[in-house]
Amino acid sequence: MNAHLVFENNPLQPAQVSLLAQVSLACPHTHKLISWLMESGKDLYGPNADNVLPHILEEVAQATQSSRASLMLLDKAKAERVLVIKAAVGFPAEVVIDTRVKVGEGIAGWVVRERSPLLWPGGTNIPPELREMIAREGFTAALCVALEAEGDVLGVLDLARLGDAPPFTSRDLWLVSLIADRMAWVLQGERLKSRLEGLESFVTRILESIPSSLIVIDRSLRIVSANCNFLVKGRREARTTMGRKIEKVFPQVLLEYTHLDQKVREVFRTGQSTEGGKLAYRAPGLPGRIYYYRLIPLYLPPPPFPAKRGKREEVENVMLLMDDITEREQLGEEVRRAERHLISVVECANDLVISMDTDGHIVTWNRAAESISGLKTEQVKGQSLLSLCAAGQQPMMAEMLRRLARGESVQNTEVNLLTASGQEVPIAWNCSPMRDDASKVAGIVVVGRDLTERRRLEAQLSHSAKMASLGVMAGGIAHELRNPLGIISASAQLLLERPAGARLRSQGLEKIYAATQRASLIIENLLKFARPQDGRKKETDVHAVLEETLVLLTPQITLQKVTLKKAFQQLPQICANPELLQQVFTNLILNACNAMPQGGTLTVTAQASGQEEILVRFGDTGHGIPQEHLPMIFDPFFTTMPVGKGTGLGLSICYSIISQHQGTIEVESQVGQGSTFTVRLPCKR
Amino acid sequence: MIEKSLPRILVVDDEPDVCWALENILCLAGYAVTTTTLGAEALELLARQPYAVAFVDAKLPDLDGLELVAMIRQQSPHTAVVLISGYYYREDPIVMEGLAKNLYVGFLSKPFRLSEVRSMASRAASRT
């Protein structure tokens, strides 16, 4: 669109043309003016208004025999509307430069304000102060008309005669009005043109700076426009792109793959945008890029008159918009790879890895969880982990989940898991809350280790250690057994020698009987101790276990000149494995005796701390444990005994057994004073 | 007269029933027998009157048997000692060492044969 179009839409009326023809014969200047008016859009004096209008003004001054003529335009940039001289004839130069007329002042100001032409003498509507002013200026005649276009006043064409010149005629007014109209149209066109150019460059700047490739395609599938981004990414030049068919610009293989040509035609046909999809495009000599493309229809500008009803607006061009998503795609691929990696880490783990919502409902359940429990993900999804725990231990798991929901983490807590076949599997749980970006607890992740195998190995190890302590006990047991054996043997021999002695016989038989009882009790305790435990926990009287252990060990204690002091309080029953506890007590007592090779005092105390826990203490007056050994004494195979004497397993097994009972074992020791081992066992089930 | 000629034997063992058995065996063999279950008492008895032989158990509740033996040897060198034990065995280095040092004249492990006890007693008694 340009200024010519405006003219073409505003032709002169035939009556005006014939009148103009008559007038033009009178004077060559008028003739020139009329040619300008008649030529409509043709540029007689150059391409733009700045060149044309001063020439026209001169012609007008000549044609109307004006002494002075000026073209003044409104300066709209100012808040106060002011007229500025654009071209002038017959004025001193300094007047031309400085003259600025406020709207409402002077002849021109009045014409702009009133939107009415001024003709003097002859005009009827001229206010007295204006007449006075004209008289002061020494004008014999004045003619001023507004330049109006589309209802806007752009400026004025102001003429004056001096001296004894005759007044302006109505024909002068008519011609000047026509010229003013035409000038207004030229100015308006000029303004529209510059606005359009501004707009065009604005749009171009946007198109060139958006980080998307953009081409416009016409109906013959030729490229009519391509932005800089497209040309750079495709390593193309504008001259080898514009006007080319798309199949000459895009590689054949890409067109076949995307059916781009068909899709463009489709958009022309339907007038609907398409969400294209991805396309991979590799410009020669550049690495391949991935684009997301869309096809958008561009419509013809709406016609100035209303379109006929039912007639569809026509698609003039189709715009192909290509967003480079290579980085995003690569990032997506990275994310997917990281995701796959994480999934396989979780899936390949030997430990159960379970994620839950904050209420403890299972969300994911890894392969290890499936194989240990025998339950498939589909069977457990949405279920509470609580319902999959051994009935007796559910309160413990419930407490664990409550703590997790509060944001605490839970370490190494043992709760048995129920398998599909109804068996219980011992699991050590390590759980932590998962937090969202706002550090709010969004879920729970738990890692569980199947302790079955560990328990089996521990049992094996603990059995070996027990056998080892049997070796230590052998001396005491031998002594203890050979005494009754000695008595039995001697009595029997006496009876054989003197069968007649009645008193000797009855005494001897009594001694034999008592000694046999004693020997078999020792054997029984020994058997109990040596028997492999079944690992089950049951209601256990810790007091009884302690007494039994002491019976078994008293020979050893006595043998080593150790004085035993006992102080046992009333103890509540606890859920424990008595064989395992006996093993712990045996170990601690034998250790205490070994710490006192010259004899000493072993103090065994047992007390209940409320209903919470049971404390059993074993204090010796032996050589004590050096400070530097304290952190290691519960480590497996740590021993200070000569090779072959101790396995170094005793205390580590005690530690493991007490841990299995959710208890603790601690030691206080002072070199030369003795050591005290404290076992704490919780009463809670 | 007869009593005077009977050699006196002291039995020290923490087991009263072992004391009972040894007392019967040795009485029947013609010895005058005194028994005690404590080492300290044994030393007192030895201080009061001489004994030809002392049967001493290696493990006593108040004193170590071997220590007691040494003390007896010092206190009454004329008393021959026989070590009895259910804990040690004859080939124990500690037992062999005592024999070599002449701390005791014989070693009797539990359970023992009566003939062994008697021959040990007569052998020991004859040395004094």
Q: CB distance A494–B25 less than 8 Å?
A: yes
Angle between helices A452-497 and A578-594 (to 10 degrees): 70
Give A287's DSSP letter.
Answer: -
CA–CA distance, B9 with B53 (Å, rounded to integer)? 5
Range of weakest confidence among A30-34, A214-218, A677-681: A30-34
CA distance A459 to A463: 6
Residues in chain B within 8 Å Cβ distance of A498? 28
Higher-pLDDT residue of A60 and A18 is A60
Kindly report the CATH number assigned to the domain that includes residue A470: 3.30.565.10
Residues in chain B closer than 8 A to A515 (CB atoms): 17
**Strand, coil or helix: A272:** coil
B87/A486 touch (CB, cutoff 8 Å), yes or no: no
> If pLDDT is split at 50, 70 and 90, which confidence band does A604 have?
very high
Measured at the CA of A582, the angle between CA A577 and CA A586, to 5 degrees, comes to 155
As given in the structure block, the two tokens for residue A121 are 């003498």
Asked whether residue A25 carries a pLDDT value surpassing 70, the answer given is no
Which one of A481, A493, A496, A498 would you mutate to disrupt binding with B, by most B Cβ within 10 Å of its Cβ?
A493
B16, closest residue in chain A (CA to CA): A487
Tens digits of residue pLDDT in A140-180? 888 899 988 888 888 888 888 887 878 888 888 888 888 88
Domain match, A224 and A116 both: no
Q: Give the domain range for residue A442.
A: 349-450
Q: Is A494 close to B21, i.e. CB distance below 8 A?
A: yes
Position A201 in a domain:
no
Task: State how many domains chain B has.
Answer: 1
Report yes or no on B54 lying in a domain. Answer: yes
Q: What is the pLDDT of residue A468?
A: 73
* Residues in chain B within 8 Å Cβ distance of A561: 64
Distance CA A108, CA A101 (A): 8
Q: What is the pLDDT of residues A42-87, one digit of tens each?
A: 554 555 667 778 888 888 888 888 888 888 888 876 666 888 888 8
Which residues 55-94 of B have a C-beta within 8 angstroms of A? 59, 61, 64, 85-87
Residue A150, sorted as left (phi over 0), alpha (psi -120 to 50) or beta, turns out to be: left
In this structure, the number of other CB atoms found within 10 A of the CB of residue A389 comes to 22
Q: Does the CB of B18 have a partner CB in chain A at under 8 Å?
A: yes
Q: Which two tokens mark A403?
A: 């703590």
- Sign of the CA dihedral A124, A125, A129, A130? negative
Paired residues of A675 in beta bridges: A669
Please name the member of B15, B20, B87 whose beta carbon is closest to the beta carbon of A478. Answer: B87
- The answer to whether A511 contacts B20, with C-beta atoms less than 8 Å apart, is yes
CB contact under 8 A, B25 and A490: yes
Last residue of some domain: A415, A450, A485? A450
Query: How close B40 gets to chain A, by Cα (Å)?
Result: 15
Closest residue in B to A473 (Cα) is B87
- Does residue A600 share a domain with residue A513? yes
Nearest CA in chain A to B14: A483
Question: In the prediction, which pLDDT does A305 show?
Answer: 55
User: Which one of B21, B25, B86 has the shortest CB-CB distance to A482?
Assistant: B86
Give the model's confidence band at A500: pLDDT under 50 very low, under 70 low, under 90 confident, else very high: confident
In a domain, B128, yes or no: no
Residue A7 confidence class, pLDDT cut points 50, 70, 90: very low
CA dist A208 and A230 (Å) reads: 9
As a whole number, the mean pLDDT across chain B is 89
Within-domain flag for A15: yes
Q: Does B22 touch chain A (CB under 8 A)?
A: yes
Task: Name the domain boundary from A417, A450, A483.
Answer: A450
Which residue does chain B place closest to A504, by CA atoms? B24
Say if pTM beats, i.e. exceeds, 0.80: no
Cβ–Cβ under 8 Å, residues A673 and A602 = no
Using a CB–CB cutoff of 8 Å, tell me whether B99 touches chain A.
Answer: no
Nearest to A478 among B21, B86, B112 (CB): B86
Residue B65: inside a domain: yes
Q: Are residues A387 and A437 in the same domain?
A: yes
d(CA A542, CA A609): 14
Task: With CB atoms and an 8 Å threshold, state whether A559 touches B59.
Answer: yes
Whether residue A8 is found in the same domain as residue A130: yes
Residue of chain B minimizing CA distance to A486: B111
Q: In degrees rounded to 5, what are phi and psi of residue A321?
A: -110, 125
Asked whether the beta carbons of A87 and A70 are under 8 A apart, the reply is yes
Of A3-12, A352-361, B108-117, the range with the lowest mean pLDDT is A3-12
Contact A490 B18 (CB under 8 A): yes
Same domain, residue pair A77 and A174: yes
Question: Is it the case that residue A337 has pLDDT exceeding 70?
Answer: yes
pLDDT of A684 above 70: no
Indicate the pLDDT class of residue A545, thresholds 50, 70 and 90. very high
**Burial (CB count within 10 angstroms: exposed 0-12, middle 13-18, buried 19+), residue A132:** exposed
Q: Please check whether residue A341 lies inside any domain of the structure.
A: no
Nearest to B59 among A479, A490, A515 (CB): A479
Domain assignment present for A668: yes
- For residue A643, pLDDT over 60 is answered with no
Q: Are residues A668 and A543 in the same domain?
A: yes
Residue A594, token pair as written in the block = 């070994």
If asked whether residues A463 and A552 sit together in one domain, one would say yes
A202 is a domain residue? no
Q: Which of A450, A466, A500 is the last residue of a domain?
A: A450
Q: What tokens does A166 get?
A: 């005759």
Q: What is the mean pLDDT of residues A591-606?
A: 90
Instruction: Supply the pLDDT for residue A302.
Output: 62
Using alpha carbons, list the distances in angstroms from residue A92 to A65, A134, A144, A608. 18, 18, 19, 122
In a domain, A336, yes or no: no
Pairing type for strands A152-162 and A139-149 reads antiparallel
Q: Which residue of chain B has the CA closest to A562?
A: B61
Q: Per-residue pLDDT tens for A256-268?
A: 888 888 889 989 9
Assigned domain for A205 exists: no
Question: Which of A428-437, A652-661, A673-682, B19-28 is predicted with the least confidence, judged by mean pLDDT?
Answer: A652-661
Q: How far is A481 from chain B (nearest CA, A)?
A: 8
Mean pLDDT of B94-110: 90
A490: closest chain B residue by CA: B21
A483 vs B25: CB contact, 8 Å cut-off?
A: no
* A335 pLDDT higher than 50: yes
CATH number at residue A285: 3.30.450.20
Mutate one of B110, B116, B118, B120 to test the A interface: name it (highest A CB count within 10 A): B110
Q: How many other CB atoms sit within 10 Å of the CB of residue B121?
A: 26
Arithmetic mean of pLDDT, A184-200: 85
With tokens 């029947």, the residue in question is B28
Which among A475, A482, A558 has the least Cβ separation from residue B111? A482
Q: What is the pLDDT of residue A8?
A: 42
DSSP-assigned beta bridge partners for residue A613:
A609, A682
| Pairs across A and B, CB distance < 8 A | 69
Which residues have CB under 8 Å from A521's CB, separation 6+? A551
Torsion of Cα atoms, A419 then A422 then A426 then A430, to 10°: 40
Asked if the model's pLDDT at residue B1 lies above 70, the reply is no
Q: CA A122 → CA A110, A119, A127, A131, A169, distances in Å?
A: 17, 6, 13, 12, 8
Q: Which residues of B touch A502 (CB under 8 A)?
A: none
- pLDDT higher for B19 or A11? B19
What's the CATH code of the domain at A161?
A: 3.30.450.40
- Given a cut of 60, is residue A549 above it in pLDDT? yes
Q: Is A642 inside any structural domain?
A: yes
Q: Does residue A539 share a domain with residue A486?
A: yes
Residue B42 lies in a domain: yes
What pLDDT score was predicted for residue A131?
A: 83
Out of B64, B87, B114, the one facing A494 most closely (by C-beta) is: B114
Q: How does residue A524 score in pLDDT terms, banded at 50, 70 and 90?
A: confident
Q: Is residue B82 part of a domain?
A: yes
Q: How close, in Å, is residue A462 to chain B by CA atoms?
A: 28
pLDDT at A619 over 90: yes
Nearest to A490 among B21, B59, B87 (CB): B21
| DSSP letter for each residue of A237-268 | -GGGTTT-BHHHHS-HHHHHHHTHHHHHHHHH
pLDDT given for residue A6 in this prediction: 36
Mean pLDDT of A413-430: 90
As a whole number, mean pLDDT of residues B91-112 equals 90
**pLDDT average, residue stretch A496-515:** 89
Give the ranges where A25-118 is alpha helix by DSSP (H): 28-38, 49-63, 93-98, 106-114
Nearest to residue B89, comparing CAs of B70, B109, B67, B111? B109
Q: Give mean pLDDT, residues A390-396.
A: 85
Residues in B closer than 8 angstroms to A475, CB to CB, are 87
pLDDT > 90? residue B34 = yes
Query: Structure tokens of A654?
Result: 């005690």
A385 shares its domain with A286: no
Domain count for chain A: 4
Mean local confidence (pLDDT), B23-51: 93
Tell me the residues of chain B between 108 and 127 that have a Cβ less than 8 Å away from chain A. Answer: 109-114
Q: CATH code at B67?
A: 3.40.50.2300
For residues A286 and A255, the answer to whether their CB atoms sit within 8 Å is no
Q: Which residue of A has its CA nearest to B62?
A: A561
In angstroms, how far is CA A14 from the centroid of its own chain? 74
Regarding whether A318 and A367 lie in a shared domain, the answer is: no
- Domain extent at residue B64: 2-123
Report the C-alpha gap between A153 and A234 in whole angstroms.
51
pLDDT above 70 covers what percent of chain B? 95
A-chain residues within 8 Å CB-CB of B18?
A: 483, 486-487, 490
Closest CA to A669 of A619, A634, A620, A624: A624
Same domain for A377 and A277: no
Res A648: pLDDT: 65
A275-313 residue pLDDT tens:
778 888 777 777 888 888 889 898 876 655 555 555 566
